[in-house]
Amino acid sequence: MCDLFVRNATVVTEERTFDGGISVSNGRIDELVVGQRDIAAARQIIDASGLLLLPGLVDAHVHFSEPGRGHWEGFETGSRAAAAGGITTFVEMPLNAQPATIDAAALVMKKAAAKQSHIDYALWGGLVDDNLDDLADLRRGGVVGFYRERHCRGGGRGLAGAT
């Protein structure tokens, strides 16, 4: 028995679009169903006739502003809102938190705040004029890439020479 069966949807995957549905058990999709086959034993069945069934979306540019500015929007509320809109993964921007994510110590703080997330995430590292020696530590610490904004001071560290 599965927990949830969604049927009669237009299913969109990377490779194709087809009529069918999905079976979900323990919070995970365990089967893509092609065609109009029913699953007799499901705790909940959703008829998705006329609806699209899409993979989760990725937002590669979010500002959850933690640590330091969680009162603007933090990981807990921001990730909950993202999930409600179909986002399953986000990448958090590095330069608007206090401190900005420009060295290993700031990354430790950012990762602690990110534990509040309800969905998957990755973190950008910030690139500023005087942190080139910190980039290797940021990468080893898990950032997926580096981001630089000309107009942002990066938590008080300048960007004038970065290109």
pLDDT digits (tens, 9 = 90+) for 96-141: 888 999 999 999 999 999 999 999 999 999 998 889 999 999 999 9
What is the predicted pLDDT for the residue at 156?
46
Question: What is the β-pairing status of strands 2-12 and 52-53?
Answer: parallel
Residues of the chain with pLDDT > 70: what percent?
Answer: 90
User: What is the rounded average pLDDT of the residues 39-45?
Assistant: 82
Give yes or no for residue 153 having a pLDDT over 60: no
**pLDDT-derived band at 56, boundaries 50, 70, 90:** confident
**pLDDT-derived band at 69, boundaries 50, 70, 90:** confident
User: What is the rounded average pLDDT of the residues 53-80?
Assistant: 91
What is the predicted pLDDT for the residue at 151?
54
**pLDDT-derived band at 152, boundaries 50, 70, 90:** low
Q: Token pair 């299913």 is at which residue?
A: 11
Q: Which CATH superfamily is domain 2-53 in?
A: Urease, subunit C, domain 1 (2.30.40.10)
Where does residue 46 rank: exposed (0-12), middle (13-18), buried (19+ CB within 10 A)? middle
Contacts of 65 (CB under 8 A, 6+ apart): 72, 73, 74, 96, 97
What is the predicted pLDDT for the residue at 31?
87
The answer to whether the beta carbons of residues 115 and 103 sit under 8 Å apart is no
Tell me the one-letter amino acid at 146: F
User: What is the rounded average pLDDT of the residues 18-46?
Assistant: 86
Which comes out higher in pLDDT, residue 38 or 145?
145
First to last CA, the chain: 56
Would you kindly state where each structural domain of the chain is located, as residue ranges?
2-53, 57-147
